[in-house]
Amino acid sequence: MKQSRPQVPVITVDGPSGSGKGTLCRLLARELGWNLLDSGALYRLVGIAARNHGVGIDNHAALEVLAGHLDVQFQPGADDAGDVRVVLEGEDVTGVVRSEEVGALASQVGAVAAVRAALLDRQRAFCVLPGLVADGRDMGTEVFPEAELKVFLTASPEERAARRFRQLIDKGDAVSLPRLVADIETRDRRDLERSVSPLRPSPEAVLIDTTGVSIADVFARLMSLARERGLA
């Protein structure tokens, strides 16, 4: 008798930078005991690889090759706190991968259709039992259109910039808040207006505005949605 493939449950969380996706996805994955896909990290790594190899943003053919052959390892951090070390082509890039500069590079390579196509299989490979929490811009629309629960998080640009500001200051990065607001606006515009897989909620997505709402409250809401759908 032919065995059917086990269905892997997926929760997608999409939204702009600073909407709280990263933190909430980590909490959700930990609570459910599921796998976590940080798709932004893949775009960020393509950006770093392009910079390291001197590949320009206009060289789509070379960017496609880099995206299709990303030599990356996600290794458990030394302190056992759930931190992950990111190693690209043998070099530890953990310290730079989440920087604003690399975020801007990621947004640029993310606008290239060939890069998005080259990363599709790698992203879908994260979809294994017992389940997947997928964090990104097009998780619900393009990468996992069959997901059981799709969430789209938003927050005002000012609040998103303030959250990023705190994150970067905590990491010891020197940043200016007005500069961060301007960078977030540029990145939003590029992610929203690109012709391929623009940032946009799937019609089935539950929209949650996190402006002025604590992470704990948004997390409780997400868990209650997951329970309603029999996922938790």
Least distance to ligand DC, CB of residue 222, Å:
17
Region 41-60 residues binding ligand DC, contact defined as CB under 6 A: 43-44
- What is d(CA 184, CA 59) in angstroms, rounded to the nearest whole number? 25
**The one among 150, 160, 163, 187 contacting ligand DC by CB under 6 A:** 187
- Using CA atoms in the order 137, 21, 228, 221, what is the torsion angle rounded to 10 degrees? -140
Tokens representing 120 are: 């599709």
Q: Closer to ligand DC at the Cβ: 21 or 149?
A: 21
Q: Least distance in Å: CB of 151 to ligand DC?
A: 14
Say if residues 32 and 226 touch (Cβ distance below 8 Å).
yes
The count of residues in the chain is 232
154 lies in the binding site for ligand DC (CB under 6 A): no
User: Contact between 150 and ligand DC (CB under 6 A)?
Assistant: no
* Minimum separation from the CB atom of position 227 to ligand DC (A): 26
3-state helix, strand, coil in the chain (%, to 5): 50, 15, 35
Closer CB to ligand DC, residue 191 or residue 232? Answer: 191
CB of 164 to ligand DC, least distance (A): 9
Stretch that binds ligand DC, among 40-48, 154-162, 168-176, 214-222 (CB under 6 A): 40-48
> Distance between CA 112 and CA 207 in Å, rounded?
27
Nearer to ligand DC (CB atom), residue 47 or residue 232: 47
Q: Sign of torsion, CA 221 204 189 21?
A: positive
Query: Binding mask 63-102 vs ligand DC (x if CB under 6 A, - otherwise)?
Result: ----------------------------------------
In angstroms, what is the minimal distance from the CB of 146 to ligand DC?
17
Q: Which is nearer to ligand DC, 9 or 40 (CB)?
A: 40
For the bound state, the minimum distance from the C-beta of residue 95 to ligand DC, rounded and expressed in Å, comes to 15
* Closest to 98 in 3D by CA, of 184, 171, 189: 171
Burial class (CB in 10 A: 0-12, 13-18, 19+), 121: exposed
74 φ/ψ sector (left φ>0, alpha ψ -120 to 50, else beta):
beta
Residues that bind ligand DC (CB under 6 A): 17, 39-40, 43-44, 103, 106-107, 110, 136-138, 187, 191
